[in-house]
Structure 1
Amino acid sequence: MSELNSILEPGMLVRHPAQPDWGIGQVQSNINSRITVNFQHEGKVVLDGRRVALDRVFDLD
């Protein structure tokens, strides 16, 4: 869905645009459009990168 998803690497911080209550997540892996993210308030979630475009977080304000 998003070219940004293809450059996500472990350790990068992201938000799920449709789930703001999940908080900030840290990318655990990104393999063949399957992105595993550990979110602050939701825990570990495996997302289909072809269906959701994650927002990269650059600062924690």
Structure 2
Amino acid sequence: MNDILEPGMIVRHPGQPDWGLGQVQSKIGSKITVNFEQAGKVVFDGREVTLQPVFDV
């Protein structure tokens, strides 16, 4: 699912709902940087975490 992510897309972290919505800042290979409302900037390894795109914002 992370394959469709692009900068600017809105996502949620399935294991951290309290982080709120996040905006994808960059995606380079499997490294995804997201800026969340409540957690700030977080960098993920997309092979370990599957972020959920949000289309109805």
TM-score by length of 2: 0.95
Question: Mind listing any 5+ residue stretches in structure 1 that lack a counterpart?
Answer: none
Q: Give per-residue Cα distances to partners, 1:2-52, cap 9 Å, x unaligned.
A: xx2012000000000000000000000011100000000000000010001
CA distance in 1, matches of 2:12, 2:35: 10
Give yes or no for the alignment of 1:12 onto 2:9. yes
- Report 1:1-61 matches (<5 A): 4-60=1-57
TM-score by length of 1: 0.89
For residue 59 of structure 1, report the CA deviation from its aligned partner.
1.2
Question: What percentage of aligned pairs have identical amino acids?
Answer: 70
Q: Secondary structure at the match of 1:21?
A: helix
What RMSD in Å do the two structures reach over aligned CA positions?
0.6
Q: Secondary structure at the match of 1:6?
A: helix
